[in-house]
Amino acid sequence: MNKLLEVRNLTKSFAQPLGASHMLWQNVNFALGYGENMSICGESGSGKSTLLFALGRLEDVQSGKIFFEGKEVTDEKSSNIKGIRYIFQHYQLVNELDVYENIVLPCYMQRCPVDAKLLKLLLETLKLESLQHRMPAYLSGGERQRIAIARALITQPKLLLADEPTGSLDEDSGRQVMDLLFYVCKTLGTSFILVTHNISFAKETNHVFYLKQGTLLNEEG
């Protein structure tokens, strides 16, 4: 059976002034099964965010291949890959829209109906029911991140790419957001890739990887 995501020999470099190029990472290989989750750790600047952006086709790569649900998507437009959604570190909520409107926004963008049952489940499990008509300016960081999770899941993606979802939160709120992320993804059968500096959160995922000096290393060796 196909894996959900398969990455073969992915290499990323940036052009530098005077025509030189800087290799960020090379020969990145891994596979993620349906319903599985994994984490990527590594020093600041090691290229974790760039790797997540490359996986969802928000960033081009120099060489290698990406397969999503068995189909090669290496040169696909990100908007054509409907089964992958992001959670960004700084939430990126739309300030002019209330909580409800922020959560259902991807349905309007993708011209698909809002699944009322799923919306109810997300509002309940992420403890957002009483906040539906609040504007983002009046929310805490933890609340904003829970909304970003609901928004990422409302179109029922198969894969969630979460870039330091607890990076801006204090320890308790971070723990709460992580618990909810694990719980809601398990309930929906959604796989996720977690980028984090928090090793104990990383160790709760099925596979732990480290990005070190341009190489993605699996903890299991």
Ligand X SMILES: Nc1ncnc2c1ncn2[C@@H]1O[C@H](COP(=O)(O)OP(=O)(O)OP(=O)(O)O)[C@@H](O)[C@H]1O
Binding interface with ligand X (CB under 6 A): 14, 24, 42, 44-50
Segment interacting with Mg ion, rule: CB under 5 A, options 45-53, 79-87, 117-125, 210-218: 45-53
Nearer to ligand X by Cβ, of 48 and 146: the residue is: 48
- φ, ψ at 156 (rounded to 5°): 50, 55
Segment interacting with Mg ion, rule: CB under 5 A, options 47-55, 122-130, 142-150, 175-183: 47-55
Rounded Cα distance, 127 and 6, in Å: 34
Contact 2, 191 (CB under 8 A): no
Of residues 46, 49, 155, 205, which one binds Mg ion by CB under 5 A? 49
Q: In what order do the strands lie in the sheet with 37-41?
A: 84-87, 159-163, 191-195, 37-41, 207-212, 215-218
Supply the minimum distance, in Å, between the C-beta of residue 38 and ligand X. Answer: 16
166 binds Mg ion (CB under 5 A): no
Segment interacting with Mg ion, rule: CB under 5 A, options 41-49, 76-84, 125-133, 201-209: 41-49
Nearer to Mg ion by Cβ, of 49 and 198: the residue is: 49
Taking CB atoms within 8 Å and a gap of at least 24, the contacts of 13-19 are: 13/62
**N-to-C CA span, the chain:** 24
Give me the residues that bind Mg ion (CB under 5 A), please: 49
